[in-house]
Structure 1
Amino acid sequence: MRTRDKILITGASSGLGEGMARRFAAQGRSLALAARRVERLEELAAELRPSAAQVALAALDVTDTDAVPVAFGRLRDELGGLDRVIVNAGLGKGAPLGTGKAHANIETIQTNLIGALAQIEAALEIFREQNSGHLVLISSMSSIRGLPKAQAAYSASKAGLSALGEGLQTEFAKSPITVSVILPGYIETDINRGVKTSLMAGTDVGVDAMVKAIEAEKSWAPVPAWPWLPIAAALRHLPPAISRRLT
């Protein structure tokens, strides 16, 4: 399997995006990092430049769908191409539907699904022109079965993202373009702050598992594999009356 030397990561200013950027920089890769918080990106870039081959930055709000292809094109030009795009930017807002907080759920769908679609469009335009590339979609374990209450819109947005990935895997099955759908479970980041569960993985453990799955270019990967691979199987196949107890 070829090495993907030029990697674009969105949502790179914190959490899993920042963690992946650190891992790939330590391997001497060239990085294109995009996020809304450009000051944090600049701080991160200063830390990574001694080990990374190159670091390019772009301030980007993925809900500004017109800005996404412009930013991706500029980052591609700075790096001299893109071998891998990791669609990672995401939002964890939400409220039970019908409780007067529709704005939180709409913003989550706009960021996690519409914003992701804009990124996919921009990445695949570049990959089609190059006739190569690895598209990585950071979905979630919550995409497997719809979740209730404040998680409903979030799980729906990630289910939509996973469905996009599955369709693209079929479309590009016999091409030099590969597509991976990564499903993190509970990993210690800002988005999971306040969640109390014995299933929470440390940030380093979670990021290491994600990078391993991405490097293997797996088509579908719950991470960390333990305990999320068997949980994923249970959520997919158990009757609803039983699976609801796991959500």
Structure 2
Amino acid sequence: MTIENKVVLITGASSGIGEASARLLASRGAKVVLGARREEKLKAIADDIIAAGGQAAYRPLDVTDPQRNKDFVAYAKDRFGQVDVMFLNAGLMPSSPLSALKTDEWDRMVDVNLKGVLNGIAAALPEFTGQKSGQFITTSSVAGLKAYPNGAVYGATKWAVRDLMEVLRMESAMEGTHIRTATIYPAAIQTELLSTITDPAALEDMNRTYDSYQITPDRVASVVAFAIDQPEDTNVSEFTIGPTIQPW
């Protein structure tokens, strides 16, 4: 399998999709490097992976800080000798109607969901370009494919990621750098996303949706593994993932 021995960096790795992906990829022979703000959770996950016979390392990471993204990539290369995949998974979803004017939350979503992805790309792209190989995977959302009430700014960041990744794929093909991209659009997945919602009505609505439909994050992790495991000459660009019973 092409997963084996690849060095995979994962942001937002302390829970949810990031954690599930780290555990699955490590079980298939990848060397995973975990990044998130909660160091104690990263350590616990890495310790579990190592105890199970896998290879893992971790480093606290705030994706909104460009230098810390660069340090994260440098740490991974120093620890394992190379960088093969950057899974840009960190994100937050404080949904609210625009009329609530929660502008501080708008700014935070732009900083994490969009600038955080750009910072990760800027940190890893020189490595991928230099070695003429590498893969960026991002977690967008079904809100990056269609509009939802209460999700204007969240959706805007996720639509932006969709375009960003497609242009990155096209430019890599044109420049001959062989960088692969994959964008994932999850629907109701059991994660900590809802914990960032401060608007009571929006939270009630989202809780009702997730309580009715959500599936576990390992379902997304299996798709992340599928994207990585393709032959190096094959790019699989987009995956929409959600509960079979959810009408999205």
Relative to the length of structure 1, the TM-score reads 0.84
Contact 1:206–1:223 (8 Å) recurs in 2:
yes
Amino acid at match of 2:160: G
Unaligned runs of 5+ in 2: 196-206
Taking structure 1 as reference, are residues 34 and 55 closer, same or farther at Cα in structure 2, changes over 3 Å only? same
Match of 1:196 among 209, 223, 230: 209
Contact 1:88–1:137 (8 Å) recurs in 2:
yes
Give the 3-state SS of the residue equivalent to 2:98 in structure 1: coil
Q: Which residue of 2 aligns with 1:222?
A: 240
Show the 5 A alignment for 1:1-247: 2-3=2-3, 5-51=6-52, 53-149=54-150, 151-173=151-173, 174-192=176-194, 194-197=207-210, 198-216=212-230, 217-224=235-242
Amino acid at match of 1:196: T
Amino acid at match of 2:112: T
1: distance between equivalents of 2:71 and 2:218? 32
Give the length in aligned residue pairs: 229
1: distance between equivalents of 2:39 and 2:73? 15
Taking structure 1 as reference, are residues 33 and 211 closer, same or farther at Cα in structure 2, changes over 3 Å only? same
Relative to the length of structure 2, the TM-score reads 0.83
1: distance between equivalents of 2:193 and 2:214? 12
Question: Which of structure 1's runs of 4+ aligned residues deviate more than 6 A?
Answer: none
2: distance between equivalents of 1:214 and 1:131? 16
More off after superposition, 93-102 vs 30-39? 93-102
Taking structure 1 as reference, are residues 74 and 2 closer, same or farther at Cα in structure 2, changes over 3 Å only? same
Taking structure 1 as reference, are residues 227 and 129 closer, same or farther at Cα in structure 2, changes over 3 Å only? farther
1: distance between equivalents of 2:39 and 2:100? 34
Q: Which residue of 2 aligns with 1:241?
A: none
Amino acid at match of 1:167: V
**Percent identity for Structure 1 against Structure 2:** 32
1: distance between equivalents of 2:244 and 2:172? 29
2: distance between equivalents of 1:164 and 1:52? 36
1: distance between equivalents of 2:93 and 2:113? 9
RMSD, aligned α-carbons? 2.3
Task: Give 1:42 shift.
Answer: 0.7
Q: Pick 1 or 2: higher relative contact order, CA cutoff 8 A, min separation 6.
A: 2
